[in-house]
A and B are shown apart, each in its own frame.
Chain A
Amino acid sequence: MRLSLGRWLLPLYVVLAFVFLLTPIVHTIVFSFNDSVRTNIHWNGFTLDNWANVCNAQGVCEAFGASIAVALTATLIATVLGTLLAIALGRYRFRGRRAATLLLFLPMATPEVVLGAGLAAQFLAARIEKGFWTVVIAHALFCLSFVVVTVKARIASLDPALEEAGRDLYGSPVQVFLRVTLPLLAPGIVAAALLSFALSFDDFIITRFNNGALTTFPVWVYTAAARGIPAEANVIASAVFILAIVVVVAVQTTNAARRKRWRPAR
């Protein structure tokens, strides 16, 4: 018999860790309801005004829109290129495969500040004006490696027999890919796209070096931080947070339902 203290130690530790993890999130959400005067530092009472008039803070909604546009474009590029790379690495043996894997690992091992400064130096040397597309290029770059890793993990967990069965049934390579491989990879691709979107939407460090005149939401927050963040920023961050949690819960629920349905096959 173990001491009951020992049994409760781990759950207690975990609860404390979660308190630590969630404290600033709760703080951010609570202060989105603050009836703040100019800066949103002290609690002045509850109001829904910030939520009702989010766009009152100058430029915050435009910045939010810019972030969405950048994240969608960068996610599209990274997901397409990354999925193709992952299929090549996961399903084919070829010379230079290790070198290609290493090249894909390197961007993840490079600090963002170096990626950002490198791209900025390149745009400077090529006299390319910084703006929407330079930010998209930078975001798609760091999302690419994460897409490859996520999709590759999905490929590794697939049973190759399923594709063989498709070929045995006289499916052409294209048919097998479109009707067998792609549907099986879909959950991995969706997960990779969601991850890319989240990474791009919240990125500040690389963006800081390559945004030019484009103001994304994090850039807006950074600029506003010097003089005090208005509560409207908390509203946008809280809304994004709640939406993201809803998406994660929905994905987990459908996955659980699917697993239940497919149990005999596993």
Chain B
Amino acid sequence: MAFAAFGPAALAERATPATLRKSWVAVALLAPGLAYLALFFVTPLVSLLVTSLNQPVLYGDVGQYEPALRVENYWTAIEHYWPHFLRAFVYALIATIVALAISYPVAYFIGVTARRWPFVQALALTLVIAPFFISFLLRTLAWKQILADDTPLVQFLKSIALIPPDGHVVGTDFSVVFGLVYNFIPFMTLPIYASLERLDTRYLEAGSDLYARPATVFWKVTLPLSLPGVVSGTLLTFIPAAGDFINASDTFLGSSRTQMVGNVIEANFLVLMNYPIAAALSVLLMGVILVLVGVYIRRSGTEDLV
């Protein structure tokens, strides 16, 4: 059942019975959770918005700000950090596409091919979620060590001239995207698996009975039926990847030339104590992601997903 968390909500919705009962019970059930969200989700977003318009206290210490309406903070943020925004979205986009290319066949194998062998299916699912259980930071550091300059793998890549003799893997655009793909792949595989698992294979047989080639069956039947899973998987990969700052950090797989927007939010908030700029960057990041997600969900025709 744990995998259901990543399943498309649309599928879960289908069996909702229309039981109409006393609405005060519903209110009582909703009140604590919604109050929690109001207090610790909505209010913080408002705090961010307010902070993003703050101005420094005149002759104040570092990190002292007062309420104002300094819209310039947004221009400063964009002017200084647009390359970090661009990098975050390009990295996240490439990572999402690569993760999809790796995940779809794996999810298909587990959800459709392995149906006959429940043991193989259970084993493969456990292996897919296995990376979740080893510390995120340590598994990223493990890749840093595996991809370090003097390791057998990198030496081999150099010997077949895939990497120039004086080249590096760690600290490049490649290693950051590589880390993003690795770290978020289970978020892609599980929802796709969840929709393929329910796929009725008789539709596929019907397709081939009607003389469709296997490729046609895939594009016209399998893929459309698994689309809700693909949409949730790409969202669950893209969003955390765009906001990530671990993989791109120079202690991990990145360097000063691979910093993403997450890195500059972290640096501005926690190191420079430049709260207004950090807040403005956060508001911009959230705004762009919400617009992208909205457009994506609408265009892919999976609005019930929400």
Q: Within 8 Å of chain A (Cβ to Cβ): is B36?
A: yes
Contact present for A14 and B12 (CB under 8 Å): no
Q: Within 8 Å of chain A (Cβ to Cβ): is B43?
A: yes
Contact present for A14 and B131 (CB under 8 Å): no
Q: Is the interface of B mostly helix, strand, loop or mixed?
A: helix
Contact present for B306 and A101 (CB under 8 Å): yes
Chain A residues with Cβ under 8 A from B58's Cβ?
Answer: none
Sorted from nearest, which 5 A-B pairs have the closest CB atoms?
Answer: A111-B243, A118-B44, A24-B142, A88-B29, A244-B133
Q: Within 8 Å of chain B (Cβ to Cβ): is A25?
A: yes
Q: List 13 A-B contacts (CB under 8 A).
A: A14-B109, A24-B140, A27-B146, A87-B29, A91-B19, A94-B27, A111-B243, A156-B12, A156-B13, A156-B15, A192-B5, A202-B136, A241-B133
A226-B131 contact in complex given A92-B25, A110-B286, A112-B240, C-beta closer than 8 Å = no
Tell me which residues from 65 to 112 in chain B have a Cβ below 8 Å from any Cβ of chain A.
102, 105-106, 108-109
Chain A residues with Cβ under 8 A from B142's Cβ?
Answer: 23-25, 27-28, 31
Tell me the complex Cα distance, A137–B43, Å.
13
Chain A residues with Cβ under 8 A from B139's Cβ?
Answer: 24-25, 28
Q: Within 8 Å of chain B (Cβ to Cβ): is A178?
A: no
**B235: shortest Cβ distance to chain A, in Å?**
7
Q: Within 8 Å of chain B (Cβ to Cβ): is A55?
A: no
Chain B residues with Cβ under 8 A from A109's Cβ?
Answer: 235, 239, 289-290, 293
Query: Can you name 13 extra interface pairs (CB under 8 A) apart from A41-B148, A107-B37, A117-B278?
Result: A21-B182, A28-B139, A84-B30, A92-B26, A118-B41, A125-B50, A153-B9, A205-B244, A205-B245, A209-B266, A222-B137, A229-B141, A238-B134
Contact present for B41 and A202 (CB under 8 Å): no
Contact present for A198 and B47 (CB under 8 Å): no
Tell me the complex Cα distance, A208–B246, Å.
11
Interface size for A (C-beta < 8 A) is: 102
Contact present for B5 and A21 (CB under 8 Å): no
Contact present for A10 and B108 (CB under 8 Å): yes
Tell me the complex Cα distance, A153–B42, Å.
25
Q: Within 8 Å of chain A (Cβ to Cβ): is B242?
A: yes
Contact present for A122 and B2 (CB under 8 Å): no
Tell me the complex Cα distance, A88–B32, Å.
12
Contact present for B45 and A153 (CB under 8 Å): no
Q: Within 8 Å of chain B (Cβ to Cβ): is A141?
A: yes
Q: Within 8 Å of chain A (Cβ to Cβ): is B169?
A: no
Tell me the complex Cα distance, A162–B154, Å.
60
Q: Within 8 Å of chain A (Cβ to Cβ): is B162?
A: no
Contact present for B239 and A140 (CB under 8 Å): no
Q: Within 8 Å of chain A (Cβ to Cβ): is B4?
A: yes
**B240: shortest Cβ distance to chain A, in Å?**
7
A22-B130 contact in complex given A84-B30, A100-B34, C-beta closer than 8 Å = yes
